[in-house]
Amino acid sequence: MAFLSVKVWRGDELGRYHRFRVPREANQTVLDVVTYIQRRLDATLSYRFACRVGMCGSCAMTVNGVARWTCRTHVAKVAADGHLEIGPLRNLPVIKDLVTDMAEFFDKWARAGGQHAPTATRKDDFARIAPDSRTRQAADAGIECIGCGVCYASCDVVAWNPDYLGPAALNRAWTLVNDVRDGARAERLRAVAGDAGCHACHTHLSCTERCPRHLAPTASIAGLKRVTAVAALRGEL
Amino acid sequence: MSTRTETRLWIAQRASAAILALCVVVHLVVIVYAMRDGLSAETILGRTRGSFGWLAFYAVFVLAAAVHAPIGLRTVLMEWADARGRTLAIVVHAFALAIAVIGLRAVWAVFVG
């Protein structure tokens, strides 16, 4: 029987890695490893998961230095040499072990104008939006975000600039800027521009590289840069 | 600093970058040309002094640099030194002024004499 040598972060920001020996299985995911540790070796380990089939994004952690969904990460892919290092997502406060406080992530989502502002009432007819229209395609390209935080954890600018709204919040804002039914365009553009907004992005593309849904927040942010620049030049910002 | 001003700084950064890209290419060609022909300092100054076209070109180059570099430095200082507010503004403006003064002095010396 082969074993994995697994280091798991314990405690808060001032914690340390604990070592475990976990039996190697065929078709084993990193979530399987964490679950084995908690059920068989150390019941005090705290971690999050829900669907375990790559739909909810709850199990996002740092695996060998990279933010990933642990339920969709095969051990064979990331630990061919038998060594695993598992930690909480970066750029977020650590509550305990592998669990982070995601409040700031979602607060920034709200601050970026991440809510749809309706303009129609129940008395109006359905909005007619062609699925192949330019704006709808732009919105659809980023709409599948489930707020897992992997992009936020992977972003250098988030690490360097505590006010930066981050790729997920800006990506969501972009989908709403492209929603023709939305009524809060002016406020949203003001919310996403400037030092804490899209202009802080350095186009490192870590978010796009790591997004488990294969979205491109960098492209959304580039779109916001274009639209806010035009608005600023027109005096609309 | 308002969001609109911050956005305009970003636009100025991009616009000055476009100008600098062109200026840098021309400047490199000029340098290579002068070096390959083995021109001396006296010969070069003999050609540049009194040339209004080149004076204008290099003046634009200096001013574009005086816009571009301080805006970039501002971001670097915010991210790596946690700089904010008045201190940051003073440092950045001082840097812009230094580039403009030193650069324009050099342009004057080379193209006017």
Domains and CATH numbers, chain A: 3-100 (3.10.20.30), 103-233 (1.10.1060.10)
Q: Give the span between the Cα atoms of A216 and B46, in whole angstroms.
A: 55
User: B6, A157: Cβ pair inside 8 Å?
Assistant: no
**Is the CB of B85 inside 8 Å of chain A's CB atoms?**
no
CATH topology of domain B3-111: 3 helical TM bundles of succinate and fumarate reductases (1.20.1300)
Q: Would you call A194 and B78 a contact, using CB atoms and an 8 Å cutoff? A: no
Check: complex ipTM more than 0.85 = yes
| CA angle centred on B97, ends B95 and B100, rounded to 5° | 110
Lookup: tokens for A18: 């604990």
Mean pLDDT of A34-52: 98
Q: What is the C-alpha separation between A72 and A77, in angstroms, rounded?
A: 10
> Each residue's pLDDT tens digit in chain B (113 positions)?
899 999 999 999 999 999 999 999 999 999 998 888 888 889 889 888 988 999 999 999 999 999 999 999 999 999 999 999 999 999 999 999 999 999 999 999 999 98
Q: Which two tokens stand for residue B10?
A: 């970003």
All residues of chain B having their beta carbon less than 8 Å from the beta carbon of residue A160 are 79-80
Task: Decide if B11 touches A, using CB distance below 8 A.
Answer: yes
Please enumerate in sequence order all residues whose Cβ is within 8 A of that of A197, keeping only pairs 6 or more positions apart, or say none. Answer: A112, A164, A165, A170, A191, A224, A228, B3
With CA atoms as reference, the chain B residue closest to A228 would be B7
Q: What is the pTM of this model?
A: 0.94
Cβ distance B7 to A161 less than 8 Å, yes or no, reads no
CA distance A128 to A121: 14
Q: What is the pLDDT of residue A148?
A: 98
Cα separation, A109 vs A120, in Å, equals: 23
Tell me how far apart the alpha carbons of residues A83 and A64 are, in angstroms, rounded to a whole number.
Answer: 9
First to last CA, chain A: 64
How far, CA to CA in Å, does A55 sit from each of A35, A52, A78, A149, A208?
A: 18, 8, 21, 13, 18
Q: What is the mean pLDDT of chain A?
A: 97
Give the torsion sign (CA, A128, A132, A133, A137).
positive
